[in-house]
Structure 1
């Protein structure tokens, strides 16, 4: 799984972006990524499969449906993705680099990408591993 590499490359891009565009745009992206992560966690917490799938990136949604051999809305509820408390106070950190973001909750880490329709979750149920990429329960192909 290439998360560590992708995140490192995105971080370098993001650092250059901060230097050229100022902090306002970065803070807006941070806020939007956090809102998308909170929406995902809320939907997961109330077991609203349709809303959870709407929060997923297209490839991740497709991967869920293919793995479950049923619709994403049905299959996502069978996944063992930890649910975090979906309140802003429980967000431990939000890192944004270019069009990628990582949102860390006490019980879960999400990776998101920015699409034309907004931020979407590309991986969830992610746990860090020393000197290795994150291991994610839910991810796109």
Structure 2
């Protein structure tokens, strides 16, 4: 499953599910030509930004185990807000999530302002802000072909 690239979609919902966790369907009547036009505008910057997105995902993974304040600073604002609403201050909540060592980077895809970094044992979704890439979801595992990812940390 590849995340869409529609603006700050990853900040709003990195895993493609609605508020109740159900997958949102595309409205009837959307034609393939419309999808081609929309998705066609997402290409072109992937290779330029892939390295910095991968580095942001690796920096987050390193910081979770060594410098929680830095890891919290690498979360997108909405993701951090959701974590803190659900579990308290980020510096105490993030270690309790229990993210394991994600391993090395296997694949990076960039869609405009959004990125998807697949690591050996994790998938991390990111969004590009003025200050650089920020994590919108982490600890993500696919639920099956065509299904949304289940993430330990994500914006609600």
Task: Give the Cα–Cα distance (whole angstroms) in 2 for the partners of residues 95 and 36 of structure 1.
Answer: 13
TM-score of the pair, normalised by structure 2: 0.72
State the match for 2:9 in structure 1. none
Aligned length: 127
Deviations 1:35-57 (A, max 9, x none): 110100111232x2101101100
Q: Which sections of structure 2, spanning at least 5 residues, go unmatched?
A: 1-12, 18-25, 27-34
Partners of 1:51 and 1:112 in 2: how far apart? 16
| TM-score, normalization by structure 1 | 0.79
- Per-residue CA deviation, residues 69-117 of structure 1 (Å, 9 max, x unaligned), is 2x211211111223223xxxx2100011111111011111000001111
Q: Does structure 1 residue 58 correspond to structure 2 residue 58?
A: no
Distance in 2, Cα, partners of 1:17 & 1:59: 23
Larger Rg: 2
Kindly provide the CA deviation profile for residues 15-42 of structure 1, in whole angstroms up to 9, marking residues without a partner as x: 4343xxx5xx432211111111010011
1:83 equivalenced with 2:95 (yes/no): no
RMSD (Å), alpha carbons: 2.4
Cα–Cα, structure 1 residues 119 and 2, in superposed 2: closer, same or farther, change >3 Å? closer
Offset of 1:138 from its aligned partner? 0.5
> Which residue of structure 2 aligns with residue 72 of structure 1?
90
Instruction: Determine which structure has the larger helix proportion and give its number.
Output: 1
3-state SS, counterpart of residue 150 of structure 2:
strand
Unaligned runs of 5+ in 1: none
**Of 23, 46, 54, the match for 1:26:** 46
